[in-house]
Amino acid sequence: MLSKSQARTFFFGGTVVTFLIFIGLTIYSLAPGNDQTNHLAITDDVIKGKHLWETNNCMGCHSILGEGGYYAPELTKVIDRRGAPLIKAILQSPVPWAPNGRKMVAYEMPEEEAAAMVAYLEWIGKIDLNGFDRIVSPLAKDKQ
Amino acid sequence: MKYKSQQVAYWFFALCMLLFALQIVYGFIMGFARIGMDGLHDWIPFNTARAVHTNLLVVWLLSGFMGAAYYIIPEEAQRELVSVKWAYVQLISLALVGVLAITGYHFNIWEGRKFLEIPRELDYLVVINVLLFLGIILTTLYKGKRRTTTALVLTMGLVFAALLYLPGMIWFDSQVTDSFFRWWVVHLWVEGVWELIMGGILAFLLIKLTGVDREVIEKWLYVIVGLTFLSGILGTGHHYYYIGVNKIWLIVGGVFSALEPLAFLAMALFAVYMYRKGERNHPNKIALFWTIGSAIVSFVGAGLLGFAHTLPQVNLYTHGTLITAMHGHYAFWGAYVMIVLAIISYAMPNMTGRKRHDKTNGHLAFWLSNIGMLGMVVAMGVAGVVQVYLERRLSMDFMVAQEEVKIHFVVMLLNASLFATGIGLYIYEFIKYGRPTDEALEMKKEEEPALVH
């Protein structure tokens, strides 16, 4: 029968071993040789776009890379799908964009902010997502 | 209640009740918006309602865990808390951080990272708050007469939760790296260290409610939390399948997250077995309901429903859909909400000296909230499956598919009303108990043996 000290060893031993493997895998998957994101293509505009994405909590409604609020469309491939001019127009609109009646906040972004958002979404759209971008049909341009 | 300083837990529990009620209000705002009734959009758009709904959950659960620790640690360490005054300072600062964050969300002040919306400036206040809390708990344990496994596991969970908050505070230029480390906080909290906290509270309650020998319960507690970390740490990989990192996570995440239900299964079997093995017929049946219920529902919500979409082949279709929302609701409800409601139900008669634990309202609260939550989860699950099929198999546009699933949100709202009624009754009972009294301290010494039939 398992003793309490054996159970304690199982807990501490298992935790240490799996945590070390986890750290190792983290280093491996974030190594430059394994980059799937085209990291070197991250420009100042992309960074500014990410900052805008966060400070406006776009993820509270939309999703990106499959993560978000599930209330508004997934935006990973939105530039492919809808084109940069429409995206900029929506971001700069003084009237809430409301497809099928579901309203978006009217952000009235100035030109440079809308351009940064587009740069950010263009960079996102080129990430290798291990097949998610091609299987999830509305995201993939060639399936429309 | 053996120690006067345990009374501080009452105020943490009261904060829980207040924030839980507010969380439900914002949940209704989101639910109505999904069926097209978004009259509050100009003041509370969906992203605000969502951030408030999820952050209130996190803050009130943390408040519940902290209250539980302030109640449990003195009994386990067999001494008073080292400072009640600082515990109240910590409570006020926690409430202040919560209020500031939630008010800010209504004025577009946030960080916009799912579950971690609190602005960076407030993160530093959170760190100070948690350090203060840990200081009180660790010093109490250090000076205590006794060091138990239950206290150790509960405290380890709280310390690790604090440490794991830090990776979420680092800025990354890349959305992918940002997301990668955000899961270090979110996943390793809810599918890792929070389970230690849950296990610690569960073990304490089982020792008190069933009378089973502490050594037996604590031995199995080690096994359960061991299984939690063994599967949960590498199970983080299921969040990395499709966010732009290496394919190795498809295998690692797939295998280890498939093992994650084992910890919850062990917890459910453990709780039921200890209940059956127990010789004590504790009169606080409602605390027992919440305790055993938590272990069973967490197995279904976190274990089974998580497993249902954790394999990469399935997750390819369900990633980023309402299926995740369905699993999230039942997992949080079973694993964390129910265990906090269990410790509150156990502690209230002891702190106030009022024996209201067998009132009909308490039982109604349990059943109505559980039936309501199950109905909500089924409605969201059906909406999720329909969404996956229409959007990802039939290539329908997102908004067209959303129109088709509206009816399921009507069903969800009906069930949410049942759920809210149950929680309303729970809060009503909490209020009726009144505040802690010093008479309860005397009663503990003289009357508690009489509580055990």
| Residues of chain B contacting A61 with CB distance shorter than 8 Å | 45-47, 50
The answer to whether the CB atoms of B112 and A54 lie below 8 A apart is: yes
CA distance A27 to A30: 5
Nearest CA-CA distance, residue A86 and chain B, Å: 17
d(Cα B254, Cα B319) in Å, to the nearest integer?
14
- Written as six digits, the tokens of A35 are 């980059």
Task: Quick: pLDDT tens for B259-306.
Answer: 999 999 999 999 999 999 887 788 999 999 999 999 999 999 999 999
Distances B201 to A12, A22, B291, B302, B337 between C-alpha atoms, Å: 19, 27, 9, 18, 12
**Angstrom distance (rounded) from CA A47 to CA A51:** 6
Close Cβ partners of A16 (under 8 Å, ≥ 6 residues apart): none
User: Which residue shows structure tokens 């992918």?
Assistant: B176
Contacts of A58 in chain B (CB under 8 A): 47, 112
Per the CB < 8 A criterion, the answer to whether B54 and B122 are in contact is: no
Q: At what angle do helices B214-235 and B248-277 cross, to 10 degrees?
A: 160
Place domain A38-143 in its CATH homologous superfamily.
Cytochrome c-like domain (1.10.760.10)
How far apart CA B112 and CA B48 sit, in angstroms, is 10
Tell me the pLDDT band of B118, cut-offs 50, 70 and 90: very high
Does B113 contact A at CB distance below 8 Å? yes
- C-alpha distances out from residue B312 to A35, B175, B239, Å: 20, 21, 10
Q: Among partner residues A34, A54, A101, which is closest to B36 by beta-carbon distance?
A: A101
Contact A66 B319 (CB under 8 A): yes
From residue A68, alpha-carbon distances to B115, B237, B280 in Å are: 10, 18, 47
Please report, for chain A, the start and end positions of each structural domain, with discontinuous segments joined by +: 1-34, 38-143
B391 touches chain A (CB under 8 A): yes
**C-alpha span between B432 and B102 (Å, rounded):** 28
Q: Residue B239 in 3-state DSSP?
A: helix
For the stretch B291-304, pLDDT in tens is 999 999 999 999 99
Per DSSP, A63 falls in state E
- pLDDT the model gives residue A138: 55
A38 reaches B (C-beta below 8 A): no
Measured CA to CA, the distance from residue B360 to residue B355 in angstroms comes to: 13
Residue B386 forms contact with A (CB below 8 Å): no
Q: Is B219 on the interface with A (CB under 8 A)?
A: yes
Is the CB of B252 inside 8 Å of chain A's CB atoms? yes
Q: From the CB of residue B275, how many other CB atoms can be counted at a distance below 10 Å?
A: 16
Instruction: Give the Cα separation of B449 and B453 in Å (integer).
Output: 8
End-to-end Cα separation, chain B, in angstroms: 18
pLDDT in tens, A96-139: 999 888 999 999 999 999 999 999 999 999 999 999 987 765 55
The CA distances from residue B330 to B286, B298, B327, in Å, are: 20, 7, 6
Structure tokens at B105: 């969300």
Contact residues on chain A for B243, CB-CB shorter than 8 A: 65-67, 129
- The answer to whether B353 and B445 have CB atoms below 8 angstroms apart is no
Is B103 near chain A, with CB under 8 Å? no
Integer Cα distance of B449 and A91 in angstroms: 67
- The CA distance from B125 to the nearest CA of chain A, in Å, is 19
The partner residues of A68 in beta bridges, in order of sequence, read: A63
The confidence score (pLDDT) of residue B1 equals 81
Give helix B285-298 / helix B360-387 axis angle, nearest 10°.
Answer: 10
Q: Where are the alpha helices (DSSP H) in B309-397?
A: 312-318, 322-332, 338-352, 360-387
Residue A143 has pLDDT above 80, yes or no: no
**pLDDT one-digit tens code per residue, B145-190:** 999 999 999 999 999 999 999 999 999 999 999 999 999 999 999 9
Q: Is a pLDDT exceeding 90 seen at residue B121?
A: no
Q: With an 8 Å Cβ cutoff, is B43 touching chain A? A: no
- Looking at the complex, does the CB of residue B320 fall below 8 Å from at least one CB of chain A? yes
How many Å lie between the alpha carbon of B378 and the closest alpha carbon of chain A? 17
**What are the CA-CA distances from residue B104 to residues A62, B39, B111 (Å)?**
20, 21, 10
Contact of B319 with chain A, judged by CB distance below 8 Å, is answered with: yes
Contact B117/A57, CB-based, under 8 Å?
A: yes
Query: Among A23, A43, A54, which would you mutate to test the B interface (most chain B Cβ atoms within 10 Å of its Cβ)?
Result: A54
Residue B173 and residue A29: Cβ atoms within 8 Å? no
Query: Residue B373 is encoded by which pair of tokens?
Result: 């939550």
Residue B299, both tokens? 């197995």
Q: What is the pLDDT of residue B443?
A: 66
Q: So what's the ipTM on this one?
A: 0.95
Question: Which chain A residues touch B403 with a CB distance below 8 Å?
Answer: 100
Exposure letters B74-97 (e unless 16+ CB within 10 A, then b): bbbbebbbbbbebbeebbebbbeb
CB–CB contact A15 B226 (8 Å): yes
Selected for mutation to probe chain A from B243, B323, B406, B412 (highest A CB count within 10 Å) is B243
Domains (ranges, CATH) in chain B? 4-451 (1.20.210.10)
Q: A19 with B164: CB under 8 angstroms?
A: no
Q: How far apart are CA A136 and CA B242, in angstroms?
A: 11
Question: Could you tell me what percent of chain B has a pLDDT over 90?
Answer: 88
- Integer Cα distance of B226 and A14 in angstroms: 6
Alpha-carbon gap, residue B20 to B161, rounded angstroms:
21
State the smallest CA–CA distance between residue A45 and chain B in angstroms: 11
CA B57 to chain CA centroid, nearest Å = 8
A10 and B CB contact within 8 Å? yes
* Each residue's pLDDT tens digit, B310-352: 999 999 999 999 999 999 999 999 999 999 999 999 999 999 9
pLDDT attached to residue B278: 86
| pLDDT tens column, B28-41 | 999 999 999 999 99
Chain B partners within 8 Å of A30 (Cβ): 177, 180, 245
Tell me the count of A-B CB pairs closer than 8 A: 206
Beta bridge mates, A64: A67
